[in-house]
Amino acid sequence: MSKITPWLWFDTQGEEAAEFYTSIFPNSKILDVTRYGQDGPRPEGTVMTVTFMLDGQEYVALNGGPEFTFSEAISLQVSCGSQGEVDEYWSRLSDGGQEGSCGWLKDRYGLSWQIVPTALGEVLGDPDSGRSQRAMRAMLAMKKIDIEELRRAADQA
């Protein structure tokens, strides 16, 4: 069976980021930390990789240096079943980061996240195109997605 593990490139903050992420999501933990040896490109003993799990999905943080940084070309989506979940993940992940639009944010390490309520798919996929378009217009004006506001906008005639 194949297994796909995303790797996230950091300058030196991989362990700090892994600790931050695992503190936010349930069923999450740090699995392993490896360190650079005497022949590595970074100082001996510094953290090279951190293998961690976020809600059952494995990731690896690599302290590879400042050559590469995150962009919006890659993001992690968090599907939320309630407004409470949206609010909690939005608050914790945007702390020290930057709020974007339409449910997107960058965390304090520059990694992009999409905090998406499952209700968004329901209103945007409504078979009534008028309802779905009104919900779309409302979403485009939001930073953090507000489920009730989406539904109100969809219901407006």
Domains and CATH numbers, the chain: 1-68 (3.30.720.100), 70-157 (3.10.180.10)
Whole-number pLDDT of residue 101: 97
* pLDDT digits 0-9 by tens, 61-114: 999 999 999 999 999 999 999 999 999 999 999 999 999 999 999 999 999 999
pLDDT band at 40 (very low <50, low <70, confident <90, very high): confident
Distances (CA, A) of 144 to 29, 98, 108, 111, 147: 27, 12, 17, 17, 10
Taking the whole predicted model, whether its pTM rises above 0.85 is answered as yes
User: How does DSSP assign 126-155, residue by residue?
Assistant: -SSHHHHHHHHHHHHT-SS--HHHHHHHHH
Output helix, strand, coil percentages for the chain, rounded to the nearest 5: 30, 25, 40
